[in-house]
Chain A
Amino acid sequence: MADSDTKPRSFQEIILRLQNYWAAKGCAVMQPYDMEVGAGTFHPATTLRSLGSNAWAAAYVQPSRRPTDGRYGENPNRLQHYYQYQVLIKPSPPDLQELYLGSLKAIGIDMDMHDIRFVEDDWESPTLGAWGLGWEVWCDGMEVSQFTYFQQVGGHDCKPVSGELTYGLERLAMYVLGVDHVMDMPFNDPQSPIALTYGDVFRQTEAEYSRWNFDVADTDILLQHFKDAEAECERILAAPYDDPKTGKRIVMAHPAYDQCIKASHLFNLLDARGVISVTERQAYIGRVRALAKKCADAFVETEAGGFAA
């Protein structure tokens, strides 16, 4: 019996089915990026790889952090740490919508019983200097995914265009599994000898991080880290392309981009601590965007970014 004929029983089964589905469709199944990010888009497998002319197909889970969304593990839907499932295919294939609908089927959503809709939603990331057109995908009135055709990233026109799919895993899984509170959701199979819920895994950390994010994080240190990350990013990018030691041309787009990611997350933390005023906000976002643009400029100078010597 195919997976799609049975209902998944746990959060992890939904993730595993998505992994299998996109692997079968030819995506490189990658692992989460090993840094704190606000969304799956920040993973260099999306941000940087959507640039340049080289073809690309990747799928991965990305743990994502939004400090301001912390609710100490008490809100049924809101978390400061959650998971996104991310698919990026370049150039976007003509049947991307069908591929996407196939993935919903794979996790047990029966198209004959549900109402799936593509509702206009233009995507824009001011911190990444990126925008695209697409939809939020609704299942019975609930947003289950973002579907975007990238037009610009880091200030560069995307040629070819990447198709990006982002699934909010907790929300989607809660719907598929029929769970009302995220903490009650089975994480592994409820029939397992040691059955664990999402709450068993994350209630504790949600509370800890909520307290830290909102009240304890040292804002002076965060501010200093922000400045350091910004300076380091600029310094890395200022280095000449030719490495004096190896004599090779090595453009350090990724190490620089790591610093950009750091700056972005530090900004989010500062925001959660409430120390950034409305006017300053725009300035901080602009500073991160400036870094993202420079990293994008550097990436297209690399071979992965389509640079031909």
Chain B
Amino acid sequence: MSDLLIELFSEEIPARMQKRAADDLQKLVTNGMVDAGLTYASAGAFSTPRRLALSVEGISKESPTLREERKGPRTDAPEKALEGFLRSTGLTKDQLEIRDDKKGQVYFAVVEKQGRPAADIIAEVLENAIRNFPWPKSMRWGAGPLKWVRPLHSILCILSDDEGATVVPIDIDGIVSGDTTKGHRFMAPDAFAVTSFDDYSTKLKRAHVVLNAEERAEHIWADATNQAFAAGLEVVEDKGLLSEVAGLVEWPVVLMGEIAEDFLNLPPEVLQTSMKEHQKFFSVRDPKTGKIVRFITVANVETKDNGATILAGNQKVLFARLSDAKFFWENDLRVAKSDMSQWTDALSNVTFHNKLGSQSERIARIESLAREIAPIVGADADEAAEAARLAKADLSSEMVYEFPELQGLMGRYYAAAAGASDAVAAAAEEHYSPLGPSDDVPTAPVSVAVALADKIDLLTGFWAIDEKPTGSKDPFALRRAALGVIRLVLENDLSAPLLSIFTKVNSDADGSDLLGFFHDRLKVYLRDQGIRHDVIDACIAMPNNDDFALLVKRAQALSAFMKTDDGENMVQGYKRAANILAQAEEKDGVEYSFGADLKYAEQDEEKALFKALETAKAAVDPALAAQDFEAAMGAMAALRGPIDAFFEGVKVNADSDVVRRNRLNLLSQIRSIGASVADLTQLEG
């Protein structure tokens, strides 16, 4: 057995690509080895800003020799057949064996595939991996044709066993493999040789490189929280930032710095965003006041002055950044307090979409829609309209221009500063929600009204100009908007006739097509809750299917019903009844929907079904009227026994025409009672 160590040493790899690249390297190399017949025991991949590394242990010394036998044509077969066989095997006639077979003598080809040493296979697999590496974005450099994420400088590739390490020879456009690497760019820039993975990671650490990204992240987090704790403070957790920062350094050095007094009154989100986006700083909070009072930066180098110069530089940059932020904040507040309409007016110069007009035209539409929706969600119509009018005003603010990700949040601060009610201010922030499947759904009525109006305007607008999502293309995030509407309606248990709202908003939009789009999103949403698509289809086929709260209640009840034994069998009985009816109606050219008469019932099973249907109908109708689908389905479940017994003992196509028709009309009662609950014919199985 041998162990393999690969390191691909390059100029700085973007932090966001490192982990995926290490995984891809492992996959490409180990899969390639296995495909070529090698086996291995374990593998691990690592990344730093300047290197991808792969360690594979317990690799077989060579691939096994394979012997393949192929049966050819008979010796007396036409010459053409033999020629074809020789071509496909790549052999000559005298290399074939002749063996006896039941039907006579037959040619056999025996092809032996020689095993190959591991090093040959690895060289080939690695070259292939490098030349076809799936970087999200790659580049050329110098005069060569090779592509890598940034210029590739060296390849370390060694196989080691008890007798020592040997270089696996590779030459990729002049980059020749070897057994050396380099340490930290500034602290240990000299090359050194390694003999194994352990030797490599130990020597790297001595050369101020922590190979494992998780180890770097853990070190950063532990050191940051310790330093904060010692000052009575806490670090604001940010996993995304932590992994990004761990990808920016080979030798993390954590430094905590002060935020100048002038900036401590900025909203915490502004401090946090500015420090994170521009500087990749962590925020450090005073747990007593909740305010952000310091920052943590992570340097890549140890210095004689313990980072004092680096920290001073970072503080200076932060000062300039926060001066800008403070300038924006104070200017914005001045505008908000004096007259926010200058912001909303300015939005008339901002195009929302060239076929859908300006932002301010869109806001006007949202405003009238929010007014419309307000009574449905229990909001005051004037308040909802005011909230809609102000909700996007912050798009004109300087802060949001600088930090688009603060839209909404700044709107809330500014609306509050302008003296708007809490509900109106909250709507400025919350009307964008929910942004994703796990984002919180607003519950405050004014926020819900504006959130719905915002999304419905977006969807009807793009439907009207026929810019619908196709395949993976959804540039305006319309799927997300539709899911947002669905969640807003369902989680707030709103009974809203969406179709009529669509048509009212934008008569150019094909409302029923849009409703179909919603139904598709709803299927995805409900599938995640364990409701089968055919169950949903059975409910979508019912009237009022634009009232999603109703639709989902029905689907949930039907789903539960279908999970019971009675339910599933009742549906089987229902389908059988429906099929018999369909055939009979086709044949007879009439519809059997007249009331069946008990007096023509001859058998007990028949009479029992009459009674059961009567009882069920008496229970189902009022339950449906009360939208109590559970009760309706429960009453329907009671039909299972009588229906089964009926089909067991009664022949529908009786000799007497009167009896036959009466039985068909009886079956039609099953059909109508089932159809009143859901379109059960849509159910599978």
Neighbouring A residues of B307 by C-beta, 8 Å? 115
Q: Which residue of A lies closest to B327 (CB)?
A: A75
Interface of B is mostly: loop
Partner of B313, one of A92, A114, A120, A134: A114
Contact assessment for A139 and B320 in the assembled complex, using a CB-CB cutoff below 8 Å = no
B residues within 8 A CB of A116? 186, 300-301
Asked whether, in the complex, the Cβ of A114 is within 8 Å of the Cβ of B297, the reply is no
The answer to whether A115 and B142 touch (CB under 8 A), given A133-B137, A140-B317, is no
Contacts of B314 in A (CB 8 A): 140-141
Q: Given A113-B305, A116-B186 in contact, is the A94-B354 Cβ separation under 8 Å?
A: no
Query: B313 contacts A139, CB within 8 Å?
Result: yes
The size class of the interface chain A forms with chain B is 35 or more
B residues neighboring A (CB under 8 Å): 11-12, 14-16, 49, 137, 139-143, 149-151, 153, 186, 248-249, 279, 297, 299-301, 303-305, 307, 309-310, 312-314, 316-318, 320, 323, 349-351, 354
Q: Is the CB of A120 within 8 A of B16?
A: yes
Task: Return A62 CB to nearest CB of chain B, in Å.
Answer: 24
Of the residues A77, A94, A112, A158, contact of B186 by C-beta under 8 Å: A112
Residues of B within 8 A of A195 (CB): none
Contact with B along A15-28 (1 / 0, CB 8 A): 00000000000000
Least CB distance from B86 to A in Å reads: 46
- Which single residue of chain B is at the shortest CB-CB distance from A140? B313
From B141, B153, B186, B349, give the contact of A111 (CB < 8 A).
B186
The interface residues of chain A lying within 8 Å CB-to-CB of B137 are: 122, 133
Checking B141, B248, B279 against A161 with a beta-carbon cut-off of 8 angstroms, the contacting residue is: B141
Contact B150 A133 (CB under 8 A): yes
Given contacts A140-B317, A141-B313, A142-B313, contact A93 B142 (CB under 8 A): yes
Taking beta carbons and an 8 Å cutoff, which residues of A are in contact with B? 76-77, 91-94, 97, 111-120, 122, 132-135, 139-142, 149, 151, 158-161, 163, 175, 180, 277-279
Contact at B15–A279, with CB atoms within 8 Å?
A: no
Contacts of A77 in B (CB 8 A): 320
CB distance from B560 to the nearest CB of A (A): 51
Please tell me which one of the listed residues B143, B249, B279, B301 contacts residue A141 in the complex, with CB atoms under 8 A apart: B279
Chain B residues near A160: list those with CB within 8 A.
Answer: 142-143
Residue of A116, A135, A141, A175 with highest tally of chain B CB at under 10 A? A141
Whether the Cβ atoms of A112 and B303 lie closer than 8 Å is: yes
Whether B141 and A149, one on each chain, are in contact in the complex, defined by CB atoms closer than 8 angstroms, is yes
Residues in A with CB closer than 8 Å to B150 are 133-134, 149
Take A117-B300, A141-B313 as given contacts and tell me if A161 and B15 are in contact as well, using a CB distance cutoff of 8 Å.
no
| Residues of chain B within 8 A of A140, CB atoms compared | 309-310, 312-314, 316-317
Q: A113-B303, A114-B309, A118-B12 are in contact. Are A141 and B317 (CB under 8 A)?
A: yes
Contact yes or no, B14 A120, CB < 8 A: yes
In the docked arrangement, what's the CA distance between A179 and B473, Å? 49
Measured between alpha carbons, how far is A277 from B357 in the docked complex, in Å? 13
The smallest beta-carbon distance between A192 and chain B, in angstroms, is: 27
How far apart are the CA atoms of A149 and B11 in the complex, in Å? 12
Across the interface, name the chain A residue whose C-beta is closest to B137.
A133
Q: Would B279 and A151 count as touching, CB distance under 8 A?
A: no
Instruction: Verify A151–B11 contact, CB threshold 8 A.
Output: no
Report the minimal beta-carbon distance from A281 to chain B, rounded to whole angstroms.
Answer: 10
Cβ of A113: which chain B residues have Cβ within 8 Å of it? 303-305, 309-310
Give every chain B residue within 8 A of A111 (Cβ-Cβ): 186
On chain A, the residues within 8 Å of B12 by CB distance are 117-120, 135
**In the bound complex, CA of A118 to CA of B11 (Å):** 9
Q: In the complex, which of the residues B15, B299, B350 contacts A278, with contact meaning CB atoms closer than 8 Å?
A: B350
Most buried by A among B14, B49, B323: B14
Q: How far is the CA of A113 from the CA of B150 in the complex (A)?
A: 27
| Residues of A close to B11: CB separation below 8 A | 97, 118
The CA of A141 and the CA of B300, in the complex, are separated in Å by 11
Give every chain B residue within 8 A of A278 (Cβ-Cβ): 349-351
B318 surroundings in chain A (CB, below 8 A)? 141
Cβ distance B12 to chain A, nearest Cβ, rounded Å: 4
- State whether A115 and B351 are in contact (beta carbons under 8 Å apart), knowing that A142-B313, A160-B142 are contacts in the complex: no
Q: A77-B320, A133-B137, A141-B279 are in contact. List 6 more A-B contacts (CB 8 A).
A: A94-B153, A113-B304, A118-B11, A140-B309, A140-B317, A180-B316
In the assembled complex, the CB of A92 is this many whole angstroms from the nearest CB of chain B, namely 5
Which of B140, B317, B351, B354 has most chain A Cβ within 10 Å? B140
Cβ contact of B351, chosen from A97, A141, A279, cutoff 8 A: A279
- Known contacts: A140-B317, A141-B297. The answer to whether A133 contacts B309 by CB under 8 A is no
Residues of B within 8 A of A158 (CB): 140
A233 to chain B, nearest CB (A): 27
- 21 CB < 8 A contacts A-B: A77-B320, A94-B142, A112-B186, A113-B303, A113-B305, A113-B310, A115-B300, A115-B307, A116-B301, A118-B11, A118-B12, A133-B150, A140-B313, A140-B317, A141-B318, A142-B317, A149-B150, A161-B139, A161-B143, A175-B316, A278-B349
B248 touching A117, Cβ below 8 Å: yes
For A279, list chain B residues within 8 Å (CB). 351, 354
Judging by beta carbons under 8 Å apart, are A149 and B151 in contact? yes
In the bound complex, what is the Cα–Cα distance between A92 and B310 (angstroms)? 30
Residues of chain B contacted by A93 (CB below 8 angstroms): 142
Cβ–Cβ contact B310 & A149, under 8 A? no
Min distance, Cβ A170 to any Cβ of chain B, angstroms? 13
Instruction: Name B281's closest neighbour in chain A (CB-CB).
Output: A141
- Closest residue of chain A to B319 (Cβ to Cβ) is A180
Q: How far is the CB of B352 from chain A (nearest CB, A)?
A: 10
Q: Of B248, B249, B349, which contacts A277 at CB under 8 A?
A: B349
